Amino acid sequence: MENFRLDNVLKITKIENEFELEQANSLFNRLRLLVKDDPSLSPLRHHLADLIEAYENEHWSDVDSITDEQVKESEQAEKMAQFQTQFIQRRKERIRSALNKNDLNQNDLAEILGHRKNYMSELINGVRPFSKEDIVVIHRVLGIEFNDLILPLIKEPTAERIRLTLAKMNKPQLKLKDEDLQLI
């Protein structure tokens, strides 16, 4: 999701693949709610809409030219994006629950982390990524496990390197399952 961080969105000139399309759609939907509180996010949402439309027009408008491979890639990308969305929602619920348990609110967490209110909302809603330091502070202050705070996905080039290296080593005890190599 690195390319689809708020700071990068306006720099994106084209969606390159189905996973990027799913990421763009996911961010577009999450921004819908945040635009009400922060109208400065509106141009980002419009840019995403244009990128999504251009990709869909190029790759999905001619029904006769859609391949089985394209459909398979789309389904895989949708699963990965859904995994990310569900993770972000669970993380949001765990943070809110921990805040309530400690008689705190989101603004209190923003103050603890040194962020402004709107920025904190963007972090909680997965529109911006938490920094490593934010994750450590949330873990230590609220007692939330790292597994519930860090999205456990591996970028495709890294996953491919791991696959090739493990195959070359021929060490069956190190064999990873597909779910161990969730990709971004």
Mean pLDDT of 104-124: 95
Task: Note down the domain range covering 100.
Answer: 2-148
Backbone angles phi, psi at 183, to 5 degrees: -110, 150
- pLDDT band for 1, please (50, 70, 90 cuts): very low
Same domain membership, residue 139 and residue 48: yes
| pLDDT, tens digit (0-9, with 9 covering 90-100), for 127-149 | 889 999 999 999 999 999 999 99
% of the chain surpassing 70 pLDDT: 93
Same domain membership, residue 181 and residue 115: no
- Contact (Cβ atoms closer than 8 angstroms) between residue 98 and residue 89: no
Same domain membership, residue 169 and residue 84: no
Same domain membership, residue 160 and residue 69: no
- Which residue bears the tokens 């972090």? 123
- Total structural domains in the chain? 2
Same domain membership, residue 62 and residue 39: yes
| pLDDT, tens digit (0-9, with 9 covering 90-100), for 16-72 | 989 899 989 999 998 998 898 889 899 999 999 999 999 999 999 999 999 999 999
pLDDT of residue 178: 61
Whole-angstrom distance, CA of residue 181 vs CA of residue 184: 9
